[in-house]
């Protein structure tokens, strides 16, 4: 392996460098910081219930980065949950009002999956050399799991806040409601395909950070429609949970771990179209407030997912390993 890399033309080292930089540097979280004056104003907003309330947040990660604008639709203040237990958070989100009180506009991009498509298109030799066996290409394994490079989303529902005024290092939001997403590209085997897709889902999602731990979760149920006639429309169910503990109160296999499972089915026949699953382990470094992480899993896709020209080379079901390194901060 080392010998083949040594004789490779130098230009083919750039894709590997790109992947490395994305993994190492994109996970840095960037959020809209509030000055003391802004925090005071925000607290007043929550107490007095002004007619308009908004917040802008930015999050970066090697696999999913986004910028989101939160806007209140009523004069009621955003509920403050602080450091409630995880079960109490879920209960509060699920028992919220059925009338949407907030709107969230979000633009997102999936950097590494997008990079995988770029590498396959512009650095074919490097991509082909990344194939270890007939069923394992390490570039595909690192970038697998995301079916679109970017999206624009609109959310209507209820939002809760985990910020604590006297503890500025405790922050985060959770929300539940209806989410509508659109995009114009689909990723298939690290190839971008023009496809105007639409996704409608009911979602419970949240992220809470404190000096001791970081907790995030997402539960989704929805429908995804494709304008491209050779991509199957699906119904889906998805669950994700991730927890990072710098100071675990007790020993548990749930500490410093995560998982995600998504099940897609044909919206017409209800037959299985896709299983996406991974488990993740993290190794926290408390002194640096960071944690190297590694996720392993698989993607199984039915041969019925694609038809026509897109399904020409897929007579059988396809199985793809997932190998996902990352760093959490």
Average pLDDT, the chain: 82
| Residue 197 placed within a domain | yes
The 10 Å Cβ neighbour count of residue 294 is 14
Q: Which domain range does residue 215 map to? A: 18-328
Where is average pLDDT lowest: 45-59, 147-161, 263-277, 281-295? 45-59
Task: Report the C-alpha gap between 31 and 23 in whole angstroms.
Answer: 19
| Residue 274 placed within a domain | yes
Asked if 150 and 140 touch (Cβ cutoff 8 Å), the reply is no
- In the predicted model, what is the mean pLDDT of residues 131-160? 89
- In the predicted model, what is the mean pLDDT of residues 73-87? 77
- In the predicted model, what is the mean pLDDT of residues 53-63? 84
Q: Is 283 helix (H, G, I), strand (E, B) or coil?
A: coil
Q: Which of these, 181, 138, 178, 139, lies nearest to 158 by C-alpha position?
A: 178
Structure pTM? 0.78
| Residue 101 placed within a domain | yes
The 10 Å Cβ neighbour count of residue 319 is 11
How many domains does the structure of the chain reveal?
A: 1
| Residue 6 placed within a domain | no
| Residue 12 placed within a domain | no
Asked if 83 and 171 touch (Cβ cutoff 8 Å), the reply is no
Asked if 154 and 96 touch (Cβ cutoff 8 Å), the reply is no
Which of the four pLDDT bands, split at 50, 70 and 90, describes residue 19?
low
- In the predicted model, what is the mean pLDDT of residues 65-75? 88
């Amino acid at each position: 392996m080392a010998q083949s890399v040594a004789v490779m033309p130098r230009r083919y080292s750039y894709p590997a460098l790109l992947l490395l930089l994305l993994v190492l540097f994109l996970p840095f979280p960037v959020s809209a910081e509030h000055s003391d004056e802004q925090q005071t104003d925000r607290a007043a907003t929550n107490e007095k219930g002004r007619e308009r309330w908004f917040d802008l947040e930015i999050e970066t990660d090697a696999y999913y980065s986004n910028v989101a604008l939160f806007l209140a639709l009523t004069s009621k203040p955003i509920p403050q949950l602080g450091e409630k237990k995880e079960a109490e958070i879920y209960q509060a989100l699920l028992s919220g009002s059925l009338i949407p009180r907030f709107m969230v506009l979000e633009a997102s991009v999936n950097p590494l999956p997008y990079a995988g498509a770029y590498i396959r298109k512009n650095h074919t030799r490097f991509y082909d050399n990344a194939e270890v066996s007939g069923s394992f290409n390490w570039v595909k394994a690192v970038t697998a799991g995301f079916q679109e490079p970017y999206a624009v989303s609109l959310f209507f529902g209820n939002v809760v806040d985990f910020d604590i005024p006297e503890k500025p290092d405790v922050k985060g939001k959770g929300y539940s409601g209806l989410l509508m997403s659109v995009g114009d590209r689909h990723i298939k085997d690290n190839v971008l395909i023009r496809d105007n897709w639409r996704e409608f889902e009911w979602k419970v999602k949240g992220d809470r950070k404190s000096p001791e731990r970081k907790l995030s979760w997402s539960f989704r149920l929805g429908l995804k429609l494709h304008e491209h006639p050779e991509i199957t429309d699906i119904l889906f169910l998805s669950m994700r949970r991730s927890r990072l503990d710098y100071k675990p109160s007790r020993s548990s296999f749930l500490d410093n771990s995560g998982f995600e499972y998504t099940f897609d089915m044909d919206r017409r026949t209800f037959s299985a179209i896709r299983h996406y699953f991974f488990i993740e382990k993290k190794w926290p470094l408390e002194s640096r407030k960071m944690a190297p992480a590694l996720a392993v899993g698989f993607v199984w896709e039915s041969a019925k997912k694609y038809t026509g020209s897109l399904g020409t080379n897929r007579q059988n079901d396809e199985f793809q390993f997932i190998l996902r390194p990352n760093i959490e901060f």
